[in-house]
Structure 1
Amino acid sequence: MPAQDNLKPVLTAAEVNALMGTVYPQLNDQFAFYQALEVFPGGCTVRLNADARHLRPGGTVSGPSLFTLADIGGYVCVLSHAGPDALSVTTNLNINFVRKAEAGPIDGHCRILKLGKSLMVFDIDIVAGPDGQTVAHATGTYSIPPKRAGDVVK
């Protein structure tokens, strides 16, 4: 299914990273583990720089760490395309774990399937390793708060 093709970002990856650092500082606390790498019309690329604290026994990146990357991908998409309202929230997220991921950079390629006034539906392919193989795939929905009087439109 192609992504929605009439979308234009209103924020860059750098602007989204700065916004998340302000409104969600606990995400990266002292380290930059999760970050937006790129924002483009209809999607984004996010990264988890997985290290030892993201591993479960056996040296595999934990499911909760990959789930967080999927959720961050949706958050970056909604912030960058619907506007910088930090109150956008996840209403649904389904993930399938396909194969194990080891420590190192793990990228999420996220695309917006539908962006409406109150909801955004997206999917994300999470890839890792030298071959960039899919380690997980997720679909989700974000709720977009209604515009309020005094909101600045970019």
Structure 2
Amino acid sequence: MTFALDADALNAFLQDDFWQVKDTLIIEEVTDEGVIVRLKPTEEHLRPGATVSGPTMFMLADCAVYFAILSRIGMKPLTVTTNASIDYMRKPAANADLLCHVRLLKIGRVLAVGDCLIYSDGKSEPVATARMTYSIPPE
């Protein structure tokens, strides 16, 4: 499958334009389904008990779906979230990176929809699931 942007291009965009998370997120792979994004948590992402906080997992899901969409449609940075839902299913492993596996369900002319499963690195059971809808700007 041919992609509009590969992992290297998405990581370069992340480094140049997302100063808020550029040292935290890494696009590991662009896949046939979507992308895999790694979160390398720092102290600011942890809640008591040294586990990654819910808002941090939400940020991971939101950014990961955004990067998956851009991998298909190219550099349209004004693509924005229009709807989001997340379910936290179990506590993430302490002191572990998180991996967000995105599966794109629809890439339309004006809307894109993606599902995420978030895992603690090295674990087989997901810690959260999310669905995000994005508005794609007109040409």
TM bucket normalised to smaller: over 0.9
1:8 & 1:120 partners in 2: Cα distance? 18
Of residues 78, 93, 107, the one that matches 2:99 is 107
SS in 2 for 1:96: strand
For residues 32-75 of structure 1, the C-alpha deviation after alignment (integer angstroms, 9 at most, x for no partner) is 21111101223010010123221111222100110011001111
The aligned runs of 1:1-154 (5 Å cut-off) are: 8-28=2-22, 32-101=23-92, 102-147=94-139
Aligned-partner Cα distance in 2 for 1:103–1:90: 29
Identity of aligned residues (%): 40
Do the aligned residues in 2 keep the contact of 1:9 with 1:42 (CA within 8 Å)?
Answer: no
For the residue of structure 1 that corresponds to 2:11, the secondary structure is: helix
Which is greater in Rg? 1
Distance 1:86 1:134, change over 3 A: same
Q: Give the SS at the match of 1:50.
A: coil
Q: Runs of 4 or more off by more than 4 Å in structure 1?
A: none
TM-score between the two structures when normalised by the length of structure 2: 0.92
Question: Shift of residue 144 of structure 1?
Answer: 0.6
* Structure 2: gaps of 5 or more residues: none
Q: How many residues align?
A: 138
Q: What TM-score, normalized to structure 1?
A: 0.84
TM-aligned CA deviation for residue 104 of structure 1: 1.9
RMSD of equivalent CA atoms: 1.4
